[in-house]
Structures are given as structure tokens and as C-alpha cells.
């Protein structure tokens, strides 16, 4: 008994025929491109260097900005780091540390340069900190704290507890390891 094929309209038949002819053409090309056993295959004598993997590092400006502004709170803590004063640098062996409430700072850049005070709030969502005596008076007499970026201040006194001391120890140990490695 003969198999019944579904009837195709002319458009579908042309499409099917063209697909079959393309498949035949590709098969013929593949067979003709295969090297015959008589012709030896020669490889270039250049050596290839393995690619360096840089996962999580975008060189694109837009991707870097997106990563910065969409960073989770744990990463924002590290972004909100501030340099430490020369005295603290010599004492603890660190250059900068994530800023926290109750650290004492002096403003190094901007319109508030030279003013100092204790940090009252670290606002991770807006990448800013608030310092005790740095405020602006509103027209109704109310005083509002001025937000500052931590990179524009210098830490003069650290608020230390057990966890903070461990962090400082870890950073200092890493810096010493790098110094000994390079020397």
C-alpha cells in the first residue's frame, strides 16, 4: 500500500525543495573540502599563548558603571572606604579601610575642606556618609546634614572593636606579604 503524503501548497513545496537542495549542496561541499590522504596537513609553527581569564571584570565603561551602581550592600561597604591619616598608617600598616559609624574624620576635598567630626551615619544606598558638625540650615531653620563621599575624607581616629581589629590585622598581613614578595 502506498504511503499517503500530505498535500502541500506551492509555497510549501518550493520551500521544501530549496531546503533539500541546500542540504545536498552543503554535503557536496563538505566532501570536497576534506583533505585527501595523499595531501599532508601542515600546521603553522607559531605558538599560542593561553588566554587570560578575567571573570567579573568589565573593561566596558557602561558595564563597570552598572556593576558599581547595582552593587549589593556587602560590596558597597568596600566601595565606601576612606584613606587613613599618616599616624594611623604607620601604627597599623594600612592605607585605607571601609568607613563606619563613630570613626573620626577630617574633610580633605570640597567646600567643607578642613572641617572635622565624628561619623553619624553611613548611607550605603546613596554612597555617602554624614559627619557630626557638617550641616546646612534650611529656610525654615531646620538643620540638615550634608552628605559626603568617603573618598573625600581622611580617617583620623578609628572606632575599634574585636571585629575591626581583625580586619585591620588581615589587611596589614596582606600588605606585608605583597611587600615581601616584591622585594
Q: How far apart are CA 94 and CA 128, in angstroms?
A: 22
77, 98 contact by CB (below 8 A): yes
Q: Domains in the chain, please, with CATH? A: 61-182 (2.30.30.30)
- Grid look-up 575624607 returns 153
pLDDT tens by residue, 133-174: 999 999 999 999 999 999 999 999 999 999 999 999 999 988
Residues 6+ apart with CB under 8 A from 103: 82, 118, 119, 155, 157, 158, 159
pTM: 0.66
- pLDDT at residue 19 greater than cutoff 60: yes
CA atoms within 13 A on the CB side of 29: 6
pLDDT tens by residue, 72-85: 999 999 999 999 99
3-state helix, strand, coil in the chain (%, to 5): 40, 20, 40
116, 152 contact by CB (below 8 A): no
Amino acid at each position: 500500500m502506498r504511503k499517503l503524503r500530505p498535500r502541500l501548497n506551492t509555497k510549501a513545496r518550493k520551500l521544501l525543495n530549496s531546503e533539500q537542495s541546500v542540504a545536498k549542496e552543503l554535503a557536496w561541499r563538505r566532501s570536497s573540502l576534506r583533505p585527501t590522504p595523499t595531501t599532508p596537513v601542515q600546521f603553522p609553527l607559531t605558538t599560542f599563548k593561553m588566554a587570560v581569564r578575567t571573570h567579573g571584570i568589565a573593561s566596558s565603561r557602561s558595564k563597570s558603571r552598572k556593576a558599581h551602581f547595582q552593587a549589593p550592600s556587602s560590596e558597597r561597604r568596600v566601595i565606601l572606604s576612606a584613606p587613613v591619616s599618616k599616624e594611623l598608617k604607620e601604627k597599623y600598616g594600612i592605607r585605607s579601610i571601609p568607613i563606619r559609624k563613630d570613626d573620626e574624620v577630617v574633610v580633605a576635598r570640597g567646600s567643607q575642606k578642613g572641617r572635622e567630626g565624628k561619623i553619624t551615619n553611613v548611607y550605603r544606598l546613596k554612597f555617602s556618609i554624614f559627619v557630626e558638625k557638617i550641616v546646612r540650615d534650611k529656610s525654615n531653620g531646620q538643620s540638615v546634614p550634608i552628605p559626603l563621599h568617603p573618598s573625600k575624607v581622611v580617617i583620623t581616629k578609628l572606632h575599634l572593636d574585636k571585629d575591626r581589629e581583625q580586619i585591620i590585622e588581615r589587611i596589614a598581613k596582606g600588605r606585608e606579604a605583597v611587600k615581601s614578595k616584591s622585594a
